[in-house]
Chains A and B, each alone.
Chain A
Amino acid sequence: MLLQRTLSKSNKTDLYLDLVELASGLLLVGFLWTHMLFVATILISQETFNGLSEFLDKYYLSYIGIPFIIVVALFHFVIAGRRIPTRIQEQRIVWRHAKMLRHTDTWTWVFQAITGMAILVLASIHVWMVVTGWPIRDFTSAQRMESFWWFYLILLIVGEYHAGFGLYRQFVKWGWFPRKPIGYITKVITAIILVLGLAAMFVFVQLGGAL
């Protein structure tokens, strides 16, 4: 037995980190999917979209929600990011390993790490654009979409990918449900959200020209 280990027995840090990763991840998935559903209200009508946005503003939900989500996302980034190898040699090992193994779930994890990094950058830009262009109304969104549709396309795919497989992985790790069906369900939900997002984008881009 080593001194430092004897004295730090029953260290629960690793457990807490794991739980925070789980909780923050679940919150973020919940947020993202709700967010996309809200965005998709544009598919119903511009009034619905604006109405929802005004409603959120009126009760200060946006002003509480956005900073809260930013804090959660940062937490999630730091904590989930502890899994990502920091040393170049380790990264090379993982990369070679994934290439050798040709194993789906290993590759999805590698992309998960990459998309996580990408989301940090892209989502920051997105938040900055939204906040500087406040409030959120059909015409502000439409403008952004029209000018930066490629940016949003990337963010949408990257975000949904990360959320979908992140959720799948948590279910796998905690084993609440068998692996195969849960993989199927998360894929279906992700596909639905993606379709909604793409449709909303399409509408916004159309609107951007019209407004």
Chain B
Amino acid sequence: MSTYKTLITDVLVVGAGLAGERVAVEAASHGLDVIILSLVPPRRSHSTAAQGGMQASLGNCAMGEGDNPDVHFADTVKGSDWGCDQDVARLFVETAPLAVREMAIWGVPWNRVVAGKRTLPDGRVIEEKKEKEGLITARDFGGTAKWRTCYTADGTGHTLQYTMDSMVIKMGITVHDRTEAISLIHDGEQCTGVVARCLRTGDLRVYIAKSTVICTGGYGRLYSASTNAVINEGSGMFIALNTGVVPLGNMEAVQFHPTGMVPVWILITEGARGDGGYLLDKNLYRFMPDYEPKKKELASRDVVSRRMIQHMRKGYGVDSPYGPHLWLDIRHLGAKHINTNLREIANIARNFAGIDPVKDLIPVRPTQHYSMGGVRTNIDGAAYGLKGLFAAGEAACWDLHGFNRLGGNSLAETITAGRIIGKKVAEYTLGATLSYNYELVDKAVKEQENRIKALVNGWNGKENVYELRKLMEQNLMDYVGIFRNGKDLQKAVDNLRELYHRSLKIGLRSNGEGANPELAQALRLPGMIKLALCISYGALMRTESRGSHAREDYPKRDDANWLKRTLAYWPEGADLPELKYEPVKITELPPGDRGYGESSAESQGGKNG
């Protein structure tokens, strides 16, 4: 009989980023007892890295005039390439302005409208109205009809997270940081909490809860070149997948950001292009207007990323030891603008590449950035397959983003979904009673204990966790990148399948004592490879191009056959996900032309690149 600490609460939130904390705040304000688990202190969450801003149709600034939820809705649905759930998108666009204003009361220092005329970098003169002065302003972002992205200088995610965490602290919500949920406790119908490992001591703990909410963010770190923080390994998604009954939605929908800085893959925010930055090729030629005459550098992310790859494949990339790349040019914006409005970008270039963007060009290339897929939930955030399990934010496939997320909709999703789903979680929890089977809990802990013992003692084999991980990253990067084709995807699936089997034979090289980092990685890796398989297998099966999923062998969107969402299940003992499909809900806006990009409109296809 093993000894472990058991904690009981009403609502257990796994992940303390913006979505998680927003859910927690909402649940706690309904009088519920909440515990948040987090890999790191909440203010270190990856949410803080979102610099650009969040979309909400306040319509206060001159270039946002006439904006309303309908316009935002259309942008979101088009952006998603009709892959999103339109009920969810509608709910989201209606709630986003409230969420922004609420954050203002709680303390976010949103940038405000300053009345008067000013000249934009492209020469247009705009005038901010006197009667709007002091209201929350917005900036331009890719893929939107209006200026709608609310921001605080270059640290929107930072200020949002700090403000949200200040509410968590104010409300006295318990946070157990440096704690990792490693499996869900469930009986196939009801989720009753998690088994967690303390990353300070290595001890296992059990958290029993009426409802469990997964808000662990994305899985960017499955790819070797990702803008994501190193903690973004999709842990919440694979513990849900491991149940065998909870599906992950649209895992093949992976967004690449056009401008990850070579070679550290740190994100250069859309703000750089929004404020008037150009993309140049090796001849210092601005090529985007040739491909996207209307939107130029500001077409949606998937389009810009693909155009960049396309242009590099034509031989216009700049050669470097890290592969070909392109240039981001913001020099013409001037030192003052760069050092104030784009300070974070300037700092990144200076500190991590030794480049001064006032004088130099920034080397960039498309880099994995966002996971549209995740734990599939309904509009209330309730996960498919298990009662008492919810998910929100990037970890979820609520399905706001479909096959491509708009810039600025991710931050907006965190607090908007957190607000909506938090309320639903609270309603559910208030009506739920706590009942759990002790044997079930004990069995769940034992299972993890045995896994750990096997890893530490090398009972199953001596595979090196870091080696396997590198192979997984490389396979995804090489074969499941921006442009995909059946041959490569098949290769990825085969390789990853083999890696999955090898990952079951990992043995530690260190002693695994206490908060051993190798053990933590070894516990995660099989789950990560499962996610990698969901991505590549889902991509292989989806024989069309939609949003960020661009098949060279199927370059067109195929609404007749593929207006549906992939659901990946992982049956016990399997080495491949089982894919099911469900129709995408279209309520207001029938599939049509996005007005940019190639897969839905007649233009140069991806294949000729």
Q: Are A and B direct contacts in the complex by CB distance below 8 Å?
A: no
